[in-house]
């Protein structure tokens, strides 16, 4: 990030396009954002003292998909100002309850967004956690890479986002499969992963159970699928040997190179260290960052047990 300016810059989003990761930065006061490919990205920054955290803005959903909306207010929650948080909370509630409340109750733009084919998937993470979820459109795996799934199976497609959520909820109610996985579990899974074969076996078993259940439920508003997906990073050796990044990312001064990403988690290197570090980038959102000529904080590595 080159910032010839007195203003701090902010990480405003971690985005995926065609299953590749990008970091979106914004310099305070500037209209435009800068999208940088995350792979091989060298970052050197420190968290600027005495400046407000800044809201990352919101996402608008319409017939054409999602677009981000910038905001210049200070952040009060982990990511947003009060106004944007409220807007997102209402949008999220509408999206999750759309099928219960009906099209008329949720606003035209959101209804148009949902009136589009959706797929239902079941995903497994490296610690063995599983979830069901839905994604808009009938191609691409961005939703899965964005969440950091390791393997997944698309099990059904539905005519729209209303019906697909009915299916999702009934799977959660009847089969007890959750709709979210905590990032701490995803993180732990990369440090001590189950074997890939074991994960595939568990997923196959679960997908079969779901498909059996869906045979009765899908009816005329959708159809069953059996499409396999795996994270493109499975063959990437860096994910086989990671240690937790030994510093707090939203404090102090840092320098590292991102080698690869799974969801919002980055595998990175630092000059002078042979380890590959695993780092959650999300806590960096909203914090004012600056470049310049300053010392990088030392790592305090735990002594090896051997």
Residue 73 binds Zn ion (CB under 5 A)? yes
Residues 201-230 that bind Zn ion (CB under 5 A): none
- Tell me phi and psi for residue 157, to 5 degrees: -125, 150
13 forms part of the interface with Zn ion (CB under 5 A): no
The answer to the question of residue 123 lying near Zn ion (CB under 5 A) is: no
Structure tokens at 282: 């999300």
Kindly calculate the radius of gyration of the chain based on its CA atoms and give it in whole angstroms.
21
Q: Is 169 left (phi over 0), alpha (psi -120 to 50) or beta?
A: alpha
Residue nearer to Zn ion on the CB measure, 71 or 111: 71
Residue 81 interacts with Zn ion (CB under 5 A): yes or no: yes
Task: Candidates 1-9, 15-23, 54-62, 238-246: pick the segment binding Zn ion (CB under 5 A).
Answer: 54-62
Q: What pairing do the DSSP bridges indicate for beta strands 243-244 and 277-280?
A: parallel
Cβ count near 191 (within 10 Å): 13
CB of 141 to Zn ion, least distance (A): 30
Binding-site size for Zn ion (CB under 5 A) equals 5
Query: Please, which residue, 79 or 153, has the CB nearer to Zn ion?
Result: 79
CB of 77 vs Zn ion, minimal distance in Å: 10
Q: How far is the CB of 55 from Zn ion (least distance, A)?
A: 3
Three-state DSSP at 155 gives strand
- Contact flag: residue 91 with Zn ion (CB under 5 A): no
97 with 168: CB under 8 angstroms? no
Stretch that binds Zn ion, among 38-46, 77-85, 120-128, 188-196 (CB under 5 A): 77-85
Q: Which is nearer to Zn ion, 69 or 248 (CB)?
A: 69
Q: Check binding of 11 to Zn ion (CB under 5 A).
A: no
Decide if residue 55 touches Zn ion (CB under 5 A).
yes
Inter-residue contact 248 to 284 (CB < 8 Å): no
CB of 91 to Zn ion, least distance (A): 13
Please say which residue, 47 or 84, places its beta carbon nearer to Zn ion: 84
CB of 264 to Zn ion, least distance (A): 20
Please state, in angstroms and rounded to a whole number, the distance separating the CA atoms of residues 200 and 176. 19
Which one of 6-14, 50-58, 141-149, 262-270 is the stretch in contact with Zn ion (CB under 5 A)? 50-58
Asked whether the beta carbons of 259 and 268 are under 8 A apart, the reply is: yes
CB 89, min distance to Zn ion, A: 13
Cβ 152 vs Cβ 229: under 8 Å: yes
56: contact with Zn ion by CB under 5 A: no
84 near Zn ion (CB under 5 A): yes
| Collapsed DSSP state (helix, strand, coil) of residue 10 | strand
CB 26 within 8 A of CB 12: yes
Distance separating the N- and C-terminal Cα atoms of the chain: 39
Q: Which residues bind Zn ion (CB under 5 A)?
A: 55, 71, 73, 81, 84
């Amino acid at each position: 990030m080159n910032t010839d300016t007195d203003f701090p810059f902010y990480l405003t989003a971690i985005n995926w396009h065609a299953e590749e990761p990008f970091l979106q930065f914004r310099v305070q006061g500037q209209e435009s954002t800068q999208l940088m490919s995350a792979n091989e990205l060298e970052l050197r920054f420190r968290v600027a003292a005495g400046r407000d955290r800044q809201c990352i803005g919101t996402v608008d959903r319409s017939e054409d998909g999602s677009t981000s909306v910038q905001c210049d207010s200070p952040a009060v929650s982990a990511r947003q100002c009060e106004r944007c948080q409220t807007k997102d909370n209402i949008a999220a509630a509408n999206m999750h309850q759309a099928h219960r409340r009906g099209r008329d109750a949720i606003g035209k733009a959101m209804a148009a967004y949902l009136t589009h084919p959706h797929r239902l998937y079941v995903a497994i993470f490296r610690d063995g956690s599983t979830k069901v979820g839905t994604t808009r459109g009938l191609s691409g795996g961005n939703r899965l890479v964005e969440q950091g799934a390791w393997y997944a199976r698309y099990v059904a497609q539905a005519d729209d986002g209303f019906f697909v959520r009915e299916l999702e909820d009934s799977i959660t109610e009847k089969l007890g499969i959750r709709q979210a996985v905590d990032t701490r579990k995803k993180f732990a899974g990369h440090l001590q992963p189950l074997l890939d074969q074991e994960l595939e076996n568990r997923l196959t078993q679960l997908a079969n159970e779901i498909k059996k259940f869906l045979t009765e439920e899908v009816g005329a508003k959708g159809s069953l699928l059996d499409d396999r997906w795996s994270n493109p990073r499975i063959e990437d050796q860096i994910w086989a040997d990671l240690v937790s990044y030994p510093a707090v990312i939203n404090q102090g001064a840092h320098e590292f190179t991102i080698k690869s990403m799974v969801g919002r988690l980055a595998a990175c290197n630092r000059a002078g260290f042979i380890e590959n570090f695993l780092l959650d980038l999300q806590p960096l959102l909203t914090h004012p960052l600056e470049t310049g000529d300053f010392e990088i904080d030392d790592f305090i590595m735990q002594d090896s047990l051997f």
